[in-house]
Amino acid sequence: MATYTPAETAALSGFSIDTLRYYEREGILPPVARTAGGHRAYSDDELILLEFLKCLRETGMPVDSLRRYGRLCRSDDTVPERIALLEEHAETVARQLAEVQAQQERLAEKLAWYRSIV
């Protein structure tokens, strides 16, 4: 299995090194393995988790929920809890999307009105 330095992981994941450390410190990421010299060595599994965490963060998932998700991922018997957490967040995202779509429709109406008087 390949390992990556913090700089390589930051470049591959799109997170800053500070964010990677923060995620580890906050329990969002599990403790990262260390080299013999004490440097962090990220794995492919951590890169996969980081990719999904980035998706969740970009959809507006709060840090508390990210923390909960990260901790749940450490145990194979927490799949039902992970499903529940992701379903809850998916409902939130769907609600937000509906709100934005309604706002977009209202803007389109206003633009149409302005264009009709020009």
pLDDT of residue 12: 96
Tell me how far apart the alpha carbons of residues 81 and 106 are, in angstroms, rounded to a whole number: 38
**Looking at residue 76, what DSSP letter applies?**
G
Q: Which helix (H) or strand (E) holds 66?
A: helix 63-72
Tell me how far apart the alpha carbons of residues 55 and 3 are, in angstroms, rounded to a whole number: 22
The residue type of 78 is T
Model-level pTM? Answer: 0.81
Phi, psi of 64 (to 5 degrees): -60, -40
Tens of pLDDT along the chain (118 residues) come to: 799 999 999 999 999 999 999 999 999 999 999 999 999 999 999 999 999 999 999 999 999 999 999 999 999 999 999 999 999 999 999 999 999 999 999 999 999 999 999 9
Exposure b/e, 66-105, CB count within 10 A at least 16 = b: bebbbebbeeeebeeeeeebbeebeeeeeeeeeeeeeeee
